[in-house]
Amino acid sequence: MRIDHGSFMLDGKPFRIISGEMHYPRIPREYWPARLKMAKAMGLNTITTYVFWNAHETTPGTYDFSGQNDVAEFIREAQKEGLYVILRPGPYVCSEWELGGLPAWLLKDKPAKLRSLDPAFMQPAERWLHRLGQELAPLQLANGGNIIAVQVENEYASFGDDHAYLDGIRQLLVRSGFDKSLLFTSDNTDPGKNGLTDQLQVINFGTGNAEKKFAEFVKRRPEGPYMAGEYWAGWFDHWGAPHQALDAKREADELSWMLKQGYSVNLYMFHGGTSFGWMNGANWDKESYQPDVTSYDYDAPLNESGRPTPKYLAMRKAIADATGVKPPAMPATPATQAIDGIKLGESASLWDNLPAPVNAPEPRAMEDLDQAYGYILYRKVIPADRPGDLVIHGLHDYAAVYVNQVLAGTLDRRLKQDTLAIKVAKGDTLDILVENTGRINFSTEMLNERKGILGEVALRGETLRDWKIYSLPLTHVDGFAYSNKPCLHGPCFYRGSFNAPAAGHASADTFLDTAGLNKGFVWLNKRPLGRNWKIGPQRTLYVPGAWLKNQGNQLVVFDMFGTDHTTLRTLKQPVLDAPVTETAH
């Protein structure tokens, strides 16, 4: 693809990009073909995807492009459906994804200055992009593939003004083999001096802003071409905040207007899917930490489980009317199922299943222990009677405080809490269980996103020293000493098994109802499903039927506070808009 006289050109003819964003790790691999067919049936001719560095290089120098991480296969599947691909390899991607897709190990010891020319960042980034090029450069259009364009970094104008860094990323992409695709930058603000003025630019904006943003864009870049790199066709959810649902008709009308002007557009998102596992990110807005929920439904045209919404139908009609092209028939939509009576008959207390600790004079961050996600426990035997205020400096992000394994209270970074009045006596054991609730993925605040306790812990004004620190990434949860005895207090694991009729395909999709649970995490058949938190708005976790078995499915639930609600169910429909509260337990 190239640009000629202000237009995108493909095979010597003007080409208008009608794209939808969808991300391979947020969609079960088994469902990639079905989701792509739904994209084609809505009238799209292109799919846009980020590439998530931290999903592929969990430890430095070791890469995983298998299974769910097989981004090359995702792109090949798109080509089978007659869809082009716009690639957004970052290395920073934002996307409400943990640390914007950057690996947590960049923050170990003396943290790299992210998104800068700091060699501690650029050298791993170069290594990564070169390795990615081996996977994906052969799939460019000029090589017989379907990648038509490659984005340079991501919304950098909202972060910094280092033109040399941005150009450095561009050169890395070229040297990594992405020299046969159209390179571009994408910003939600005027890049001005922060952008690459000699590079194709596209613009990002939300509902109701199309006419204004394009008018500004045309004035700034009269030579064209013009594209909405992200038209936000929905929005994402934070824990403790209302579910986002936007006006489908207004968005369809705005899409129609853009297409009738001849503009290209990428719907962000066409299909959001799920930030499975620990991969939700967090925003930093108005000096407040705002962690995102597990669902990335995004109020998108195709919902979290891949089923069309009224917005899908409205946008399908808008595209057909604006282009005069009749789209393919819509694929059938499989039914979902509900399962009752999932008994979590076994439990295990975290206190009885701790790993060997690290001894340190002061608290250490997760990253310093080569830990990226999960929980970390700080333990201290109190040397003298000291009732008073416990103050945790640099809490990232959520702490449950226990005295002699009895809950004394919680502290929540969302609520700017760092002080808790407690009563402790000589010989008491103080436990501070800290959760990484999701690293910030946007703004310069992400530079400070180490997790755990980043400063000192003081009790009645005196710094506490000499800690036992337990790293709890919870990579595996099947080696614990489970029993049939109830675990009602403190951090507990619960385990049970259940059968699932019609397992193995989309007609068995279902939604785990977490009502009655407090705050924690869920695994299905050893796969990390995601977080639950009773404060809402998300109450159900998406359970893909492709990940179920007809018999003997194993469900493991971790609850930071313990629960007597050990019989769960799944529903046929998700609950993403439950009432929200500030109370954590």
Catalytic residue check, 462: no
Q: Which residues contact 436 (CB under 8 A, 6 or more apart)?
A: 278, 366, 372, 373, 374, 375, 376, 396, 397, 451, 452
pLDDT per position as a tens digit, 420-441: 999 999 999 999 999 999 999 9
pLDDT band of residue 370 (cuts 50, 70, 90) is: very high
Q: What is the pLDDT of residue 367?
A: 98
Q: What is the pLDDT of residue 506?
A: 79
Q: What is the pLDDT of residue 246?
A: 95
Alpha carbons 221 and 325: distance in angstroms, whole number: 30
Count other Cβ atoms within 10 Å, centred on residue 131: 15
- Of the candidates 239, 96, 103, 108, the one whose C-alpha atom is nearest the C-alpha of residue 155 is 96
Indicate whether 583 pLDDT > 70. no
Coil/strand/helix, residue 296:
coil
Average pLDDT, the chain: 96
Tokens coding 502: 């019609």
pLDDT per position as a tens digit, 13-25: 999 999 999 999 9
pLDDT per position as a tens digit, 553-562: 999 999 999 9
CA distances from 489 to 311, 347, 405, 572 (A): 44, 11, 9, 31
Q: Which residue among 81, 155, 304, 435 is the active-site one?
A: 155
Q: Which residue among 153, 230, 254, 367 is the active-site one?
A: 230
Note whether 271 and 300 are within 8 A (CB): yes
- Positive or negative: CA dihedral 542, 545, 550, 554: negative
In DSSP terms, which residues pair with 569 in a beta bridge?
Answer: 513
- Of the candidates 544, 534, 474, 545, the one whose C-alpha atom is nearest the C-alpha of residue 293 is 534
pLDDT band of residue 109 (cuts 50, 70, 90) is: confident
Type of residue numbered 88:
R
Alpha carbons 541 and 337: distance in angstroms, whole number: 14
Average pLDDT estimate for 326-351:
96
Least confident of 287-291, 340-344, 382-386: 382-386
pLDDT band of residue 364 (cuts 50, 70, 90) is: very high
Pairing state between β 510-513 and 7-10: unpaired
Q: What is the pLDDT of residue 585?
A: 61
Catalytic residue check, 230: yes
pLDDT per position as a tens digit, 477-517: 988 999 999 998 899 999 999 999 888 887 899 999 999 99
Q: What is the pLDDT of residue 5?
A: 86
Coil/strand/helix, residue 145:
coil
Q: What is the pLDDT of residue 584?
A: 55
Query: Does a cis peptide bond (omega within 30 degrees of 0) precede residue 91?
Result: yes
Note whether 266 and 228 are within 8 A (CB): yes
Least confident of 151-160, 448-457, 478-487: 478-487
